[in-house]
Structure 1
């Protein structure tokens, strides 16, 4: 779990005790640590008005655009792009960044600095512009190994380490770069040979290399570190803080809306066995896209997350096999005439499910209604796959490892969520982009990452009564190995899927914004299930980061 360690954080449980936090539930599910907090929360009064902040931000944006136009030095332009992205304001300069990197990609770049070459490599590959790993050959000896001098350059090693994580399949030289740089960075950390702020940056990178880091949390960390860097540009930091606080105000309004929706839904359907995870659902959606103009999409996607959780918990933690079959039959019919099929306790959920998808249709333009219909079909497919898992459990079926991976990839929710991220975005999502989001190999890669990370965390947590044998257990049984060996195998498979995601950047450069949403989903998976913890089922793990993102404004 990412720790925001530079300022003291009050334990949330004390603050929320009077705000309706739900009690702990049966079946190993914690109650929500947030309760009604975001319904009643009043943000602290900022020193400056929203209007002043917007005017100031607009002026700074123009000054930074002038910097883009006036800079002709490649390294200077790369540093500008890197700082803007790491400070979390890349969304404000998408055109400038795209043009700058396109120009750099077309021109020849030579440098004797490992840091500069690695930065060049990472920025271009992150934006779907292919460059060969041969760029690092100049730092290797005749035997193909990195020269000893490189091992004494902490900044260069860190840049190499971060860049190499953009590798694709069959790039052993970048695997070697990761191993080499990780070894020496760990040695430097153990020997206390690093200065600030490099210590913090290396520590974070060893947990989450930059291409897999949660960008908003990284930005919060980088705010204090950037001003310690030689040659930092103060107006970038000023704009980043202004933008963060302005967006936080928007996100708080969304959290209030979504929390009120969930409170009404939760109270109406009356299913006490559910995980109360609305803030977590919103946080996951926010991790995929936080930009100002995507409120409708964020809220719809968070609601779909919540509806999935209700269905998942019903299949896994409560319903009998007969009730599971009836629930799936009703969902496949998708009509109010199916209500009599259901046990009485599920009727209200089913009514709300149908009504919410009707509401989604009413919220979007005519040309987007087919996206809602496609999301509905994915929801129906997900129900079918949940029922298959329930049937396996009912039959005491022990699947093979491959059988388990095939079915559990389909129950991962990745396909439905990726489709949901296209709803409410109008013409910004082309037909080609939508089709890619529904059927690409990158979506399957993302699904496998969530399945393997979830299963590793769940194995440590212990099974609930409705859980089938996980990929960990199936691998252990099939190969007669320990859990640690199984973990190692799954982590290896996760790395393979990340290579597939990286490949999608270069193969579908023209669809990069949509590809990036899928990458962001995978990043969120790593964040929620890092260190073998399940921060979705046990949301107390997320208290500090949620408070840092949504409750505490950044000091300006």
Structure 2
């Protein structure tokens, strides 16, 4: 496949033929960029008129406009032509919807709401299978093969979920803390399945789900459960890995600390194939858990002492409390070991780790700021932006969406650059999926989001597809 794509890239780069329509050019551009080929956006210059605007003759080409919109999702910073392309495609697709056949209008609306590059592949795969399995004219053998593959991977995930659920019950955390925490083990596990669905990463998926559970629980511990004085001691204990420090603390904190230590020492560290790699992972993980708890503690101090930070101070700290920097760093070490890649020291947080965490946090703040307030915790980028700049919530939400767009442009660039030397391909896919998860979880209203997440759980982990 790489050879074929390379051949297309070299021909496409010259772009010296006249037999390419908008759909073909945009589709090739998207596929090549998705696979790490640095295609210039200048290939779209041919679709502009003498005044430098996209030709209005394209305004009724629904297929071409959808492909152009999809291609523009892979823009890098400073690629103004792709931003123009996205705006052009969006406005004309929206204008076309009332005049299209119902099935095509539905497709257009889906593309505008869920462009392929920012949608989790396994979610999109299930959606396409459902469409093609419902009487669409397409090669039946291909559909049956896709169903077989989906059901096979789902059965692997179901077996893993059973193991993860036994671990979660064994921690005793849910029994001890009850309604004070978000007890959502199926959701936590599904997030690992969506970010890393490939069957060969089974053990990695289970261990990452454990990390997810602990991040959620410790987040709740700092938000609504612990007294500030106890949280200081807990943070110091995690930072120093001293089990005696937590003994005077409430039992819920002791249980969290024990579960954390067991996952780090008996799970994640031993996924490494080489002893030295295990030492490196354990050393790095200890520092990351300490940093995470310090960031949680900082948020607790801001809120309980009513010492409001600036919006940017909050976002820098909250990107850490998203848990994704820890999650992605663990995944990098594990995947590098499992795929026998060269493990690059991570003295600083690379863009491929920091940017998905920032995107996830910003989607979280967009979608759950009101929910968190109901639980007794009201910090969000939106909240602090409104206070700092004395603007409306609507203005703050628009700024948040702009930040998400900027972060995606940088992430697109980082993922292409990282593919050359630094990171294994599986990790690049994983990082992009982590950025996509934020929108899946938090881009809906409170009631709609809950229904949608339950639907995804049912389709991803419970409901088998029947031919």
Q: Tell me, yes or no, whether TM beats 0.5.
A: yes
| Cα separation, 2, equivalents of 1:394 and 1:227 | 54
Counting helix residues as a fraction of each chain, which structure ranks higher?
Answer: 2
* Larger mean Cα displacement after TM superposition, 442-451 or 504-513: 504-513
Matched residue, 1:482: 392
CA displacement, residues 186-227 of structure 1 (integer Å, 9 cap, x when unaligned): 1222x141353x333322211111100121121122125458
Matched residue, 2:88: 180
Matched residue, 1:415: 325
Alignment match of 1:141 (pick from 49, 54, 57): 49
Secondary structure of the residue that 1:270 maps to in structure 2? Answer: helix
C-alpha contact 2:352 2:415 (8 A) present in aligned 1 = no
The Cα shift of 1:182 comes to 1.0
Residues 155-174 of structure 1 aligned to structure 2 (within 5 Å):
155-174=63-82
Matched residue, 1:87: none
* Larger mean Cα displacement after TM superposition, 298-307 or 538-547: 538-547
| Cα separation, 2, equivalents of 1:269 and 1:330 | 23
Secondary structure of the residue that 1:129 maps to in structure 2? Answer: coil
Matched residue, 1:102: 6
**Judging changes above 3 Å, is the alpha-carbon distance between structure 1 residues 462 and 373 closer, same or farther for their aligned structure 2 residues?**
closer
Structure 1 residue 400 and structure 2 residue 346: aligned? no
Structure 2: give runs of 5+ residues left out of the alignment: none
**Judging changes above 3 Å, is the alpha-carbon distance between structure 1 residues 113 and 387 closer, same or farther for their aligned structure 2 residues?**
same
Residues 204-223 of structure 1 aligned to structure 2 (within 5 Å):
204-223=110-129
The Cα shift of 1:520 comes to 0.7
C-alpha contact 1:504 1:515 (8 A) present in aligned 2 = no
Alignment match of 1:513 (pick from 409, 412, 426): 426
Matched residue, 2:154: 248
Structure 1 residue 525 and structure 2 residue 438: aligned? yes
| Cα separation, 1, equivalents of 2:291 and 2:188 | 21
| Cα separation, 1, equivalents of 2:353 and 2:334 | 20
C-alpha contact 2:233 2:246 (8 A) present in aligned 1 = no
**Judging changes above 3 Å, is the alpha-carbon distance between structure 1 residues 280 and 541 closer, same or farther for their aligned structure 2 residues?**
same
**Judging changes above 3 Å, is the alpha-carbon distance between structure 1 residues 427 and 362 closer, same or farther for their aligned structure 2 residues?**
closer
Matched residue, 1:280: 187
C-alpha contact 1:457 1:534 (8 A) present in aligned 2 = no
The Cα shift of 1:140 comes to 1.4
Structure 1 residue 443 and structure 2 residue 353: aligned? yes
**Judging changes above 3 Å, is the alpha-carbon distance between structure 1 residues 465 and 518 closer, same or farther for their aligned structure 2 residues?**
same
C-alpha contact 1:268 1:348 (8 A) present in aligned 2 = no
The Cα shift of 1:462 comes to 5.0
The Cα shift of 1:243 comes to 0.5
The Cα shift of 1:418 comes to 0.2
**Judging changes above 3 Å, is the alpha-carbon distance between structure 1 residues 453 and 541 closer, same or farther for their aligned structure 2 residues?**
same
Matched residue, 1:338: 245
| Cα separation, 2, equivalents of 1:434 and 1:115 | 42
**Judging changes above 3 Å, is the alpha-carbon distance between structure 1 residues 230 and 316 closer, same or farther for their aligned structure 2 residues?**
closer
| Cα separation, 2, equivalents of 1:105 and 1:306 | 43
| Cα separation, 1, equivalents of 2:135 and 2:11 | 28
**Judging changes above 3 Å, is the alpha-carbon distance between structure 1 residues 151 and 226 closer, same or farther for their aligned structure 2 residues?**
farther
| Cα separation, 1, equivalents of 2:244 and 2:28 | 60
CA RMSD of aligned residues (A): 2.4
Alignment match of 1:463 (pick from 373, 390, 393): 373
Alignment match of 2:143 (pick from 218, 237, 253): 237
Structure 1 residue 121 and structure 2 residue 29: aligned? yes
C-alpha contact 1:456 1:472 (8 A) present in aligned 2 = yes
C-alpha contact 2:237 2:245 (8 A) present in aligned 1 = yes
| Cα separation, 1, equivalents of 2:27 and 2:78 | 22
The Cα shift of 1:366 comes to 3.2
Secondary structure of the residue that 1:170 maps to in structure 2? Answer: coil
Structure 1: give runs of 5+ residues left out of the alignment: 1-95
C-alpha contact 2:234 2:245 (8 A) present in aligned 1 = no
**Judging changes above 3 Å, is the alpha-carbon distance between structure 1 residues 326 and 126 closer, same or farther for their aligned structure 2 residues?**
same
Matched residue, 1:355: 262
C-alpha contact 1:254 1:295 (8 A) present in aligned 2 = yes
Matched residue, 1:320: 227
| Cα separation, 1, equivalents of 2:185 and 2:340 | 26
Aligned length: 455
| Cα separation, 1, equivalents of 2:34 and 2:170 | 42
**Judging changes above 3 Å, is the alpha-carbon distance between structure 1 residues 503 and 267 closer, same or farther for their aligned structure 2 residues?**
closer
Structure 1 residue 497 and structure 2 residue 404: aligned? no
| Cα separation, 1, equivalents of 2:259 and 2:89 | 52
CA displacement, residues 117-142 of structure 1 (integer Å, 9 cap, x when unaligned): 00000001111111111111221111
C-alpha contact 2:360 2:437 (8 A) present in aligned 1 = no
The Cα shift of 1:517 comes to 1.2
The Cα shift of 1:456 comes to 1.6
C-alpha contact 2:161 2:186 (8 A) present in aligned 1 = yes
| Cα separation, 2, equivalents of 1:281 and 1:407 | 23
The Cα shift of 1:365 comes to 2.8
Secondary structure of the residue that 1:290 maps to in structure 2? Answer: coil
| Cα separation, 1, equivalents of 2:311 and 2:260 | 33
The Cα shift of 1:253 comes to 0.3
C-alpha contact 1:317 1:464 (8 A) present in aligned 2 = no
| Cα separation, 2, equivalents of 1:434 and 1:544 | 40
C-alpha contact 1:127 1:505 (8 A) present in aligned 2 = no
The Cα shift of 1:484 comes to 0.3
